[in-house]
């Protein structure tokens, strides 16, 4: 999807958060927004150990784009994100478990406080359990997510 790639490149190069919000609001709406969010969520899973540095750039850009989108309008995409996380959190591949954690943490940034607390209450035990995951990368993502939750819900 070239238009999605252009958005990612544009967001990755934006220096000013106000400019970032304007770009997102002007580009993303309705069905197009849902497709972009789905595509970005899928790109959280593209890590390949052999080309890790390059692939992490894709994952980091996707994560940044999601954070920007969710900061302005997380409610519209809640179903997509929660479906993605529930389908990937127990996946046998660490890439999907890590992607699930990153997606959830990115999503929480824009959620209203009451709903955020409900989501955290429902997910915290699972996140704590992931601190014992066989993958160190998943453990690290769980720690970062729990840290974000403590900052967001404080």
**What local confidence, expressed as pLDDT, does residue 90 receive?**
92
pTM: 0.74
The predicted model gives 88-110 an average pLDDT of 90
**Rounded Cα gap, residues 111 and 136, in angstroms:** 28
Element (H, E) at 153: none
Identify the pLDDT of residue 128: 92
| DSSP letters for 106-142 | HHHTTS-HHHHHHHHHHHHHHHHHGGG-S-HHHHHHH
Q: Is 13 helix (H, G, I), strand (E, B) or coil?
A: helix
> Residue 85 — very low, low, confident or very high, per pLDDT cuts 50/70/90?
very high
Q: What is the pLDDT of residues 10-60, one digit of tens each?
A: 555 555 555 555 555 556 666 767 787 887 788 777 765 554 554 466 777
| pLDDT for residue 1 is more than 50 | no
List CB contacts of 5: < 8 A, sequence separation 6 or more: none
Of residues 28 and 129, which shows the higher confidence score?
129
């Amino acid at each position: 999807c070239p238009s999605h790639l252009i958005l990612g490149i544009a967001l990755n190069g934006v220096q000013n958060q106000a400019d970032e919000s304007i770009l997102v609001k002007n580009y993303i709406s309705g069905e197009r927004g849902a497709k972009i969010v789905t595509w970005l969520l899928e790109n959280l899973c593209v890590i390949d150990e052999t080309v890790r540095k390059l692939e992490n750039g894709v994952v980091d850009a996707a994560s940044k784009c999601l954070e920007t989108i969710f900061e302005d309008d997380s409610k519209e995409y809640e179903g997509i994100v929660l479906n993605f996380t529930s389908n990937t959190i127990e996946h046998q591949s660490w890439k999907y478990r890590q992607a699930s954690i990153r997606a959830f943490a990115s999503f929480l940034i824009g959620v209203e406080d009451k709903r955020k607390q409900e989501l955290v209450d429902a997910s915290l035990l699972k996140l704590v359990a992931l601190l014992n995951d066989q993958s160190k990368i998943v453990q690290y993502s769980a720690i970062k997510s729990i840290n974000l939750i403590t900052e967001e819900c404080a």
